Amino acid sequence: MGKIFISAGHGGFEGSFRDLSEMAGGTVETAELVATRDLVIAELRSRGITVIAPSDDLNLAETIAWINGRSTSQDVALAIHLDIVNTPELRGTTAYYITNNAIRKRQAEILTNALTKRLPEITNRGAKADAIASIGNLSFCRQIAIPSILLELVFVNNSQDRLLMQTRRRDYAIGIADGLQAWINENATTIPIYTPSNRAQKIKPVTYPEITINLNAQIYEEKGILVSGNVFVPADLVDRLAFDLNQIPISCRLRYQNIVYVQAIALRDLNISVVWDSNTRTLYLKTIFKVFTGQIDRIMGVGNASEVQLLMFLKNNNESALTNYGDLPRLYREEAEVEGINHDIAFCQMCVETGFLRFGRGVAPEQNNFASLGDAIANSANNASGAIFDDQRTGVRAHIQHLKAYASTAPLFQPVVAPRFHLVARGIAPVLSQLTGRWAIDPLYDRKILALIRRLYESAGIF
C-alpha cells in the first residue's frame, strides 16, 4: 500500500493572495484546517496507513513540488480547504478532480460519500470537475504527478456548516480517513503513475495504453497515452501548432519511451478545445474556431454568444436567477452593442461579480448593481454598499459605460449613468488583465472572467 499526502490549504480559493487569517464568524481558517488535518493523520496512522503532511509554511507551488519530489507510484494526495462564497445559504462538501478523468471523479465521489455517510448532516455536493472552479482549473488537481483531489470541507461563511465542523471535528476526521483508506486501497490496484521517484528506482518500466488524437477533424499521425485516467499528447504537437510550450508547467509533462508528453487538459489554457471520448479512446482537439481567440480578452469588440446561449449559460449555473433576470442577456447585448463593448466579457464579469446573480458582498439584488460599482458620493445616507440604480437596464448600462471608460477614449453614445465614469483614466485598460488591480484587487480577477468565457463558449459550441 502507498502513502497518503495530505495538505491543509490556506485561502478561500486556490491561488489567491488571501491567507485570510480571520474568516467569517471569527473562524481562523488555518487553525481549523490544521486541527482537522492532524486528526485525520492520527486516525489513518492508527489504522497502519502511512501519512505525510507538507509543511504549513509552503505555498501552493512549493507544496506541489514537495509532493512530486517524494511520491511513488502507489501514493495519493489530498488537499483540504474551506470554501467561502457570496451567498451564505450555500452549504456542503465538494471534491474537485481533474476535468475529463472518470477514474478521478469516482475517487472524488468515494471521499464525499464516506464523509457524508459519517456525518449525514453534511450536504453532499459531490464530485466536480476542476474546470468549473473560479479560475478554470486547480493546480493541486493538475500538477501533482500522483492521483490528487481537492476537498472543500464546508462553506465557512455558513453558520450551520461552521458550527458542525467545530463541534463534530472528530467525525469529520473519521469520515475523511474512511474515504482516503478506500481510495488508496483502490489505487494500489491501478496502473502505476510515472513519477520522478520511480524514474530513479530500478523498476520495470510501465506501459501505458495508446489513444487516438483527432486534431481539427483529422487523425493526428502520432498517438497519445492514457496515464491513470489522464490523457497526454506529444509535446511536439504543441510546438507544431505554434503554441508556447513554456506556458505548460513542467509538472504537467512526462517522458515516456524517449518522448516528452504534456497533459492534454493543460492545453485549454492555450485556448484549445479539449474533449475526451472514453468509449473510443479518442481525444478531440480543436484550434479552428468560429471566433478569433486572440481577441478573447479585448474589452472593446463584438461578443459571439447569442441571447439564448447567454440565457442557457445562466440557467446551467443558477436556474433560479431566470425568475427575476431572464431579460439580462438581452439587456447586456443591447447596451454593449451601443457602446462597442464585447458583451461576452461584460456578461461573464457580471457572473463573477454577483456569483451568477446570487449577490452578496453587501450588494443587494434591488440595487441593480451587477458589477460591484462604487458610488462617487458617500453611501452613509442610504446605508448601501456600492451604487444603486433604478432598474436593471440602467444597472447594465452603468456597467457597460464603466468598462468603456477603462477600455477606450471614445465618447459615450448615451447619457452617463455610471457614477464614477469621470474618475477613470480613459483607455487605461483595453484588455482584461489590466482590470486586475483596478476593478478588483483579486490577482486572479481576469483569469476568473476568462475561465467563464471559455466555459460559455464551450457550452454554446463556439469553441
Domain extent, residue 71, equals 4-196
**Same-domain status, 382 and 267:** no
Q: Decide which of 269, 288, 307 is a domain's last residue.
A: 288
Domains held by the chain: number: 3
**Same-domain status, 283 and 320:** no
**Same-domain status, 261 and 313:** no
Flag whether pLDDT at 23 surpasses 80. Answer: no
Instruction: Place 204 in a pLDDT band, splitting at 50, 70 and 90.
Output: low
**Same-domain status, 273 and 332:** no
Flag whether pLDDT at 434 surpasses 90. Answer: yes
Q: In the chain, what percentage of residues exceed pLDDT 90?
A: 69
List pLDDT tens digits, range 373-383: 998 665 544 55
Q: Which residue is it, cell 442557457?
A: 312
**Same-domain status, 36 and 174:** yes
Q: What is the pLDDT of residue 458?
A: 87
List pLDDT tens digits, range 123-141: 999 999 999 888 889 999 9
Residue 203 lies in a domain: no
Flag whether pLDDT at 11 surpasses 60. Answer: no
List pLDDT tens digits, range 25-79: 444 567 888 999 999 999 999 999 999 999 988 989 999 999 999 998 889 999 9
Which helix (H) or strand (E) element contains residue 6? strand 4-8
**Same-domain status, 410 and 358:** yes
Residue 159 to residue 162: CA distance in whole angstroms: 5
Grouping H, G, I as helix, E, B as strand and the rest as coil, residue 55 is coil
Phi, psi (rounded to 5 degrees) for 332: -65, -40
**Same-domain status, 355 and 439:** yes
List pLDDT tens digits, range 226-253: 998 899 999 999 999 888 888 898 889 9
Residue 201 lies in a domain: no
Beta strands in 31-166 (DSSP E): 51-52, 76-83, 93-97, 124-129, 148-155
Residue 202 lies in a domain: no
Q: What is the pLDDT of residue 38?
A: 96
List Cβ<8 Å contacts ≥24 apart for 253-258.
254/145, 254/194, 254/227, 256/194, 256/208, 256/225, 256/232
**Same-domain status, 101 and 164:** yes
Tell me the pLDDT of the chain averaged across its residues.
Answer: 88
Q: Decide which of 288, 315, 342 is a domain's last residue.
A: 288
- CATH number for the domain harbouring residue 10: 3.40.630.40
Q: What is the pLDDT of residue 14?
A: 52
Q: Decide which of 129, 164, 196 is a domain's last residue.
A: 196
List pLDDT tens digits, range 284-323: 999 877 677 778 999 999 999 999 999 999 999 999 999 9
- CATH number for the domain harbouring residue 359: 1.10.530.10
